[in-house]
Amino acid sequence: MTTHTFKHLTTEQVDAFWLNGYLVLENFLDSTDVTTLRASIDVLTDWINTTEHPSFQVEPESKNCENTVIRKISSIHTHGGAPWDQLMRRDDVLNVMEDLVGLPVQFHHSKVMMKAPYDGSKKEWHQDLPQGFVTQTEADRLRQLGSDLTPEQVPVLAIQYYLDDATLGNGCLQLVPGSHRHGLFRDPLDESLIDARQVVPAEISTGGALLFHCLTWHHSAPNTSPLLRRGPVFEYMAPAHGVDLTQNNFDDGWGQILRNGV
């Protein structure tokens, strides 16, 4: 019998990812990484307060009258400069991706999801795949396949890094294990699909990371606490099978090969 040697993850972690559609990696970033990335977001926040750009999304219903409250910074790997570009290409990150989706590992997109104290709004239940990854026509076709659309056909996944402790109070991600095997649904997901007993909150400490598949059902609640939650997300992919990912809303390096087969 041959056993596969993975580069970063254990066999149990790889199996758990494909079984559940997500995986938690505690202590993935060290305190220097966290400090550097937080400092970069602070600089960007000052800039965003005086600049309008389609990549910057603010909280429309903010209660904070003094400052712009940022909800999302798209394409952080370009707006944020060196620390983010380095994060995108880190060997340990690419090792994780290679372990899960194989080679070549390609870049998909990046963003920072912010949940400001008391102001951070919810993100509806959704799957990432219909959110600009494919055309409407392709999404319609894939929905017809039901659970015959397998997650292995679309090896696209996100890694969200936590620059603060993520808790239910400040709007951590919540996921439904195994939902990546149910096929593709309308976006956002109809909440009647969600069985509250199956929902798992991803309460993850600062420095931890969450991997989730682009078909996994997930959402985050509003931040009802005084504590900020910053969660940069980078998505990666390997070639899809029977799914057209090429017509999408992403530029800024989409499809760039970050690690090739040797």
Ligand X SMILES: O=C(O)CCC(=O)C(=O)O
Residues that bind ligand X (CB under 6 A): 113, 123, 128, 158, 171, 173, 218, 220, 231, 233
For 69, the token pair is 């409250």
Shortest reach from residue 89's CB to ligand X, in Å: 20
Pairing type for strands 257-259 and 209-213 reads unpaired
From CA 181, how far away is CA 97, in angstroms rounded?
20
Contact between 110 and 88 under an 8 Å Cβ cutoff? The reply is yes
Is the CB of 103 or the CB of 199 nearer to ligand X?
199
Q: How far is the CB of 128 from ligand X (least distance, A)?
A: 5
Give me the least distance between CB of 215 and ligand X, in Å please: 12
Taken in order 118, 121, 125, 129, the sign of the CA dihedral is negative
For the CB of residue 121, give the shortest distance to ligand X in the complex, in Å.
9
Side-chain-facing half-sphere of 84: CA atoms under 13 Å: 25
Minimum CB separation of residue 260 from ligand X in Å reads 26
Say which DSSP state 56 is in: E
Complex with ligand X: residue 114 or 243, whichever CB lies closer: 114
Question: Which one-letter amino acid corresponds to residue 138?
Answer: E
CB 68 to ligand X: min, Å: 18
Query: Nearest to residue 21, comparing CAs of 216, 154, 232, 172?
Result: 216
Give the nearer residue to ligand X in terms of CB position, either 116 or 233: 233
Q: Which is nearer to ligand X, 9 or 233 (CB)?
A: 233
Per DSSP, helices labelled H in the chain are: 11-20, 31-48, 76-79, 82-89, 91-101, 136-144
- Distance from C-alpha of 76 to C-alpha of 53, rounded to nearest angstrom: 13
Helix, coil or strand: residue 211: strand
Select 151 or 171, whichever has its Cβ closest to ligand X.
Answer: 171
| Crossing angle (nearest 10°) for helices 82-89 and 31-48 | 130
CB of 61 to ligand X, least distance (A): 16
Considering the complex, state which of residue 6 and residue 187 has its C-beta at the smaller distance from ligand X: 187
Output 40 or 217, the one with its CB closest to ligand X: 217
